[in-house]
Structure 1
Amino acid sequence: MTTTANSPARTDLEFKRIDASKPAGDQIFGSIKHAILNMDLQPGCIVSEAEIAAKFGASRTPVREAFMRLREAGLVVTYPSRGNFVSRLNKEKILEARYLREALEMANIRRLASGGLPSASHDRLLENLQAQEDAAAIGDAVVFGNLDDVFHLELAEATGFPRAAQVLEKEKMVLDRLRVLSLRDKNHLGFLKDEHARIFEAICAQDLSEAVRFGELHFSSILKVLSDLEIRHSDYFDD
């Protein structure tokens, strides 16, 4: 990939070839989305439809379909006569997503701390926290990030409201790239794991005030991370 002046080239980036038994557009969209959210394709990087088609061994039609969906998701922007670019991080959109996510997650925490945690959810969360501890101990940010997702989605699903997890999944996408940057700090992994454990323990004890307190502390930390990363990676953010 060629890039803007602020982003390193990623000509080494490879993708799996298209599985002919599945819709090509879905596969291309999923792979490019994953590469963007995991910062393999960095903010400001130009992405060529022709090059993507060649890398996937696909025609231009499913590639155009995938790019349309990426634009709708806010992950790619298109400038006439210039091409398609990975969108830069936008502070206002991040703050909005954080606001919406916090409102939903705190509602989940309050419901579970008041009404109790289903035993199956309890066991899955306990296993998840142990895996988080293991990942943090060796500094595996990729595994830890996946476990972080599962932890919060498990809390949402434990409420018994299916759409709680669906809405959470949608809103967290705006924050995913910010999180990938923050998880590069290995000390931050242990910090997040401890915050998750405190929320879990307070929910299990049905201690509503402590669950709310630890939840609010957890989500307020996003603001500090945003401020720090905006300074350290200013070239990733909108002017």
Structure 2
Amino acid sequence: MDTSRPANDQIAAAVKAAILSMRLTPGQMISEKEVGQLFGASRTPVREAFAMLREENLIVTRPSRGTFVTKLSVHQITSAQFLREAIEVAVVERLCQTGVCETADTALHANLEEQRRAVGTGDKSAFQTLDDQFHLALAGATGLGRIQRALTREKMVLDRLRVFSLDRADNMSRLYEEHDRIFKAIRTGDLRNATRQLRDHLRLVLGTLSESIAANRAFFDLNET
């Protein structure tokens, strides 16, 4: 724990990362007492952290039963995908019209090189982080700060599903190649190609949904209305 930063923020961030990476699995019970012991924290910051996680719909507390990691919701996933695509297509349209500044261009090139290395070493965790950074860097290149925040919010709903898709041996390589093609189309101002490549790329995760449900039924809320 970093004593210069609020304990509740640090605990919430750590538990959130564990949930989104599937180290804490959907439906798994999570205890305030155990988390407090793990971090050496008192009850108050842990309760505050849990409140923050409930606000983000990452955990749910059921009276007389306990607190659990929320299961994956097909409805929320499809809604988030719809919103994410709308945001990112608008980002690509703007960048094709305005161009990418030198600073953002350099950062995106460096990110793609790191992605290539992660593919080569099979580092799924590093690749997922770089994948997130690539899309956020494109949003940041628009110069519109709220876009990154909106994109982060919608992507979070999809992150756990993306963990399943990265388990497929060829998916990291495919995603890297698609990122590379999207960026090249943006740099040349090829709006039609860039948006087509982007839509196909973003819809890949939904293409794995049925397969993911079949293989991991216990992780999904199959009784949602």
TM over 0.5: yes
Alignment of 1:87-166 (within 5 A): 87-166=70-149
Q: May I ask how many residue pairs the two structures share in their alignment? A: 222
* SS at structure 2 position matched to 1:122: helix
Q: Which residue, 204, 208, 214 being the options, matches 2:187?
A: 204
Q: CA deviation at 1:108?
A: 0.3
1:203-227 CA deviation, whole Å, 9 max, x = no partner? 1111111111101111121220222
SS of the aligned residue for 2:203 comes to: helix
Aligned counterparts of 1:42 and 1:223: Cα–Cα separation in 2: 20
**For 1:206 and 1:52, how far apart are their aligned partners in 2?**
49
For 1:109 and 1:47, the matched residues in 2 are separated by 40
Determine the structure 2 residue equivalent to 1:24: 7
- How far apart, in 2, do the equivalents of 1:51 and 1:29 lie? 14
- Residue identity over aligned pairs, in percent, reads 47
Is 1:169 aligned to residue 152 of structure 2? yes
1:180 to 150, 163, 166: 163
Partner of 2:213: 230
One-letter code aligned to 1:28: I
Q: CA deviation at 1:49?
A: 1.0
Cα separation, 1, equivalents of 2:34 and 2:197: 47
Consecutive unaligned residues in structure 2, runs of 5 or more: none
> What secondary structure, in the 3-state scheme, does the structure 1 residue paired with 2:60 have?
strand
Distance 1:236 1:126, change over 3 A: same
Q: CA deviation at 1:194?
A: 0.8
2:24 paired residue number: 41
Shift in Å at residue 20 of structure 1? Answer: 2.9
Equivalent AA in structure 2 for residue 222 of structure 1? V
Aligned-pair RMSD on alpha carbons?
1.0
Find 1:58's aligned residue among 35, 41, 45: 41
- CA deviations 1:56-98 (Å, max 9, x no partner) are 1111111111111111100001111000000000000011111
CA contact (8 A) 1:141 1:186 kept: no
- Code of the aligned partner of 1:60: R
Say if 1:117 and 1:204, in contact at 8 Å, map to a contact too: yes
Task: Give the 4+ runs in structure 1 shifted more than 4 A.
Answer: none
Aligned amino acid, residue 32 of structure 1: V
Q: Which has the higher contact order (CA 8 A, sep 6+)?
A: 2
Aligned to 1:11: none
TM-score (norm 2): 0.95
